[in-house]
Amino acid sequence: MEDILFLGKSYEAYFDKLEILIGLAYSDFNGNKEYGNYWGPLGRYAWKYRSRSRSRNPFSNLNEEAFSKRENWKILKAGFFNSSFERAEKTFTEFENVMQRLGWY
Domain boundaries, the chain: 11-31+40-101
**48-80 pLDDT, tens per residue?**
877 665 567 899 899 999 999 999 999 999 999
Flag whether pLDDT at 24 surpasses 90. yes
Lowest mean pLDDT across 16-25, 44-53, 76-85? 44-53
| CB-based contact 40:23 (threshold 8 Å) | yes
Calculate the average pLDDT of the chain.
Answer: 83
Angstrom CA distances, 92 to 11, 15, 16, 25, stand at: 23, 18, 15, 10
- The answer, yes or no, to whether residue 10 has pLDDT greater than 90, is no
